[in-house]
Amino acid sequence: MVGKTIDSFYAMWLGEMLRFWRSKARMIGALATPLTYIVFLAPGLAAGFQFQGGGVINIGFFAPGFIGMTVLFASLFGGGAIIWEREFGILKGTLVAPISRFVAVVGKASGFVTITLIQGTAILVLAGLIGVHYVSFLGVLAAIVVMFFAGIGFVGFGIALASVIESHEGFQMIMGFLTMPLVLLSGAFFPIANLPAWLKTLVYVNPLTYGVEALRWCLLGSATIPIWLSVPVITLFAFIMLAAAAKLFGKMKI
């Protein structure tokens, strides 16, 4: 029984990885997008911002935010893939297969998260190459763990939405409505310590904020939200969203 579960999980994960590997355009886009962010956008933002009371914001401040943004976008792509598979009848084979739907959704989520980690790690490497100084190698490894849990959370969120939304157009509309507010209210592009109270409230209820702050602490050694708070929040978010995704995916009609 355990062996069958592991085989089913591996089959779901491998299917997503093979689909990614065979889509050269997707592979190029997955690596080109981080390159665009860190090489072109980050220096422009660093040149135009400074801390309140003086002091220039260097490019290193934005690196965790770009990583968090990449994790968000790449993870939510998984939900769109679920809808695409359902519309073209590909998902039917998965849903009628003699395997647990929970195992199926966890396997698919793991595949999407693996792709997310490839993109996030690409930004880590690129940022280091253009001069961002990380506090330690262990901090970089810890950042990858943070990316994993944040990715699980947002992949779960995307799959949960895709399980209840019937059209690809509807999913894209909702994602377009949610993604930019999540990014802009995460502290990816500005310090959150001195925000107005009403705006700070929105920032602190945004799960992406805790991912970005955890990444900033791991990579740069300091953050507004302490690491002992960021890590439990993003971990809890991951488990809740994965459980919601499994439940809703299990009720999906084909």
Q: Mind listing the pLDDT tens digit for each residue in 117-169?
A: 988 888 888 888 877 889 999 999 999 999 999 999 999 998 888 888 877 77
Least confident piece of the model among 70-79, 116-125, 141-150, 202-211: 70-79
**How many beta carbons lie within 10 A of that of residue 36, not counting itself?**
11
**Rounded mean pLDDT of 226-243?**
94
Global pTM reads 0.86
Average pLDDT of the residues of the chain = 81
**Rounded mean pLDDT of 5-18?**
77
Residue 89: pLDDT band (50, 70, 90) is low
Kindly tell me if the per-residue pLDDT of 114 is higher than 80. Answer: yes
**Rounded mean pLDDT of 58-63?**
78
Q: What is the pLDDT of residue 2?
A: 60
Residue 211: pLDDT band (50, 70, 90) is very high
Q: What is the pLDDT of residue 240?
A: 94
Which amino acid, residue 77? Answer: F
Kindly tell me if the per-residue pLDDT of 5 is higher than 80. Answer: no
Provide the residue ranges of all domains of the chain, joining segments of one domain with +: 2-250
Q: What is the pLDDT of residue 219?
A: 93
Q: What is the pLDDT of residue 56?
A: 52
Q: What is the pLDDT of residue 96?
A: 62
Q: Which residue has the higher pLDDT, 226 or 44?
A: 226
Kindly tell me if the per-residue pLDDT of 171 is higher than 90. Answer: no
